[in-house]
Structure 1
Amino acid sequence: MMEPVSASQIGVAMAASLVLWWFSTGAILWLVRRPRAAAGWTLGLSSLVAVIALIGLAVVARDQSVFGAYWAFGFALTVWGWHELGFLMGKITGPRRTPCPPTASGWMRFRVSAETVIHHEIALVATAIVIAALAWGQPNQTGTLTFALLLAMRLSTKLNIFLGVRNPPITFLPSGLTYLQTYFRRARFNALFPLSLALSVIAAILLGHAATDAATSPGMAIGACLMMALALLGLLEHAFLMMPSPDRTLWGWALGDDDKQSRADIILAAAGERDR
């Protein structure tokens, strides 16, 4: 039986996950708001970094040490960040790049909404498969599980936004993707929301148990700690869909001082209020 990780190690891992989440989100938001002339080198350089991260995931999958868990977690976040950067820059979204038809409802609204992001979702699933293949049969699965967790949280968020939330994440959308706001729906509640919260809590509990189980190796335990923090952050992000979000408090340095909130509220009032 192995000695469980200490409370200080758990605290360091969770703090590291929080800092990486905060900084990587801010860095992406800052980069997508740079002048158009910088888009080419930004995407090119980030693509190179993403390839290096994929290679890194294949290498550290063989390393079941504590450092191996940190590296795998960081590499997975890097690849995820590259996808988010490409999406927010409008490079890979979906075949539909126009506002939601005013008459769309029910299945038609779901179909046209899916058409705005389907290429990106397919790319994410394909990348998850590649990462899983790179780490297949290896002792360090932190990278694979981290990417899978991010993918699950993204899908849950997207479905909740489609069904309706009080506070759609309009702050994060750059000017080139403002048409996506017309697909958002404001609502006081949707049936999926409590299930999303419950699943986030269950995931965090299971990961916390794995992190403190004496039968878990130190590397796997730290990986579980990192992912537990990510699951809790996902829970928090879901909660912010139904309450005022501190986006500008957390990432004001990356978002700039444009008055997007008021403009987006007007768009949502015009295009989405009918769905309440």
Structure 2
Amino acid sequence: MTAYIGPILFALFVWWFSTGAIIYLDGLPRPTFKWSMLGATLLLGAAFYGLWISADDTTVKGAYVAFASALVAWGWHEISFYMGYVTGPRKHACEDGCSGWAHFGHALQVSLWHELAILASFAAIVAMTWGGANEIGLWTFVILWWMHESARLNVFLGVRNLNAHFLPPHLAYLKSFLNNKPMNLLFPFSVSISTVICSVLATEAAIAVDPFRQAGFTFLATMMVLAILEHWFLVLPIPAEAMWNWSMKSRQAPPQEARRHDAHRHDHSKPHSPAPIASLRSVH
């Protein structure tokens, strides 16, 4: 049983913390973005290296390295998108009344470069792990990609919980592509497909006798469980976003700064009295 608990807890923590960390960094002042992006790019290089060296490593350590590397690689795409570096050719909201395929085309344009970058990373990971015995990193990236695309389509078609407040101000135009509905017709298919895949992965983890396969398939099954939960969070009346409320603190002015701002505003709201003549003379 301990062979499964470790990977499950590790996957849960990394999923929760990395999501919050990206939201937190994205809420910092924009001059900090270049440093966050630089750090993320260095980590991306380390992640690709980790995927490459673990391609033939069929130990439990190899499974952890491949899984973590894929998550870090995916994190680069999240940071580069939400900080506005790799988005798409369209950077403005959709006009009122726009619908149908035209609206879908506009939605695709706002993240086209982002999607192509994901495709490029996928090709790179395939090349680095091709023929290797350890494909945990590759399939982790694929699952994250599936979670991403399915969630995007569902919020575009309409779900109950959009969590639009997580969007930074410079991406506010994305709100015009989010639809608020109780559910959409794609949702049952998304959840059903994910559940079937999750069942297969969980079964593989349960019947595995090799520690590497136990850890690897547990990682993949856990990510699919999270994919299913994330989809249900979109439609159920559950305040799931509360798990990342701590990450929104970067968008709030520190108390001392807020007090200075209020004091400054208060000073400007009162008429200024002229300085005493004696004081003016003493300056000269």
Normalised to the residue count of structure 2, the TM-score between the two structures is 0.85
Q: Cα deviations across residues 106-133 of structure 1 (Å, max 9, x unaligned)?
A: 1111111111111101111111111011
> Aligned AA for 2:235?
M
* SS of residue in 1 equivalent to 2:219: helix
Q: Cα distance, 1:253 vs. partner?
A: 1.4
| Cα distance in 1 for residues equivalent to 2:145 and 2:81 | 14
Correspondence for 2:206 among 212, 217, 223: 212
Correspondence for 2:224 among 221, 231, 247: 231
Decide whether the 8 Å contact of 2:154 with 2:186 is kept in 1: yes
Q: Structure 2: 5+ residue runs without aligned partners?
A: 253-284
> Aligned AA for 1:133?
A
Decide whether the 8 Å contact of 1:166 with 1:189 is kept in 2: yes
Normalised to the residue count of structure 1, the TM-score between the two structures is 0.88
2:9 alignment partner in structure 1: 15
Q: Cα distance, 1:245 vs. partner?
A: 4.7
2:131 alignment partner in structure 1: 137
Decide whether the 8 Å contact of 2:163 with 2:241 is kept in 1: no
1:72 alignment partner in structure 2: 66
* SS of residue in 2 equivalent to 1:256: helix
Correspondence for 2:185 among 187, 191, 209: 191
Correspondence for 2:160 among 159, 166, 189: 166
Q: Cα distance, 1:199 vs. partner?
A: 1.2
> Aligned AA for 2:233?
F
Taking the TM superposition and a 5 Å limit, the aligned residue runs for 1:1-276 are 7-214=1-208, 217-256=210-249
| Cα distance in 1 for residues equivalent to 2:51 and 2:238 | 33
> Aligned AA for 2:168?
P
Larger displacement relative to structure 2 (103-112 or 243-252): 243-252
Q: Cα distance, 1:13 vs. partner?
A: 1.1
Identity %: 37
| Cα distance in 2 for residues equivalent to 1:18 and 1:171 | 23
Q: Cα distance, 1:206 vs. partner?
A: 0.7
Q: Cα distance, 1:169 vs. partner?
A: 3.1
Q: Which has the larger radius of gyration?
A: 2
> Aligned AA for 2:104?
F
| Cα distance in 2 for residues equivalent to 1:27 and 1:79 | 15
Decide whether the 8 Å contact of 2:122 with 2:141 is kept in 1: yes
Q: Cα distance, 1:200 vs. partner?
A: 1.4
Decide whether the 8 Å contact of 2:24 with 2:250 is kept in 1: no
Q: Structure 1: 5+ residue runs without aligned partners?
A: 1-6, 260-276
Moved over 3 A (4+): 244-248
Q: Cα distance, 1:36 vs. partner?
A: 1.6
Number of paired residues? 252
* SS of residue in 2 equivalent to 1:61: coil
> Aligned AA for 2:120?
A
Q: Cα deviations across residues 176-224 of structure 1 (Å, max 9, x unaligned)?
A: 111100111111221110011111111111111111224x532122111
| Cα distance in 1 for residues equivalent to 2:250 and 2:85 | 24
- Structure possessing the higher relative contact order (Cα contacts under 8 Å, 6 or more residues apart): 1
1:273 alignment partner in structure 2: none
Decide whether the 8 Å contact of 1:28 with 1:85 is kept in 2: yes
Larger displacement relative to structure 2 (16-25 or 36-45): 36-45
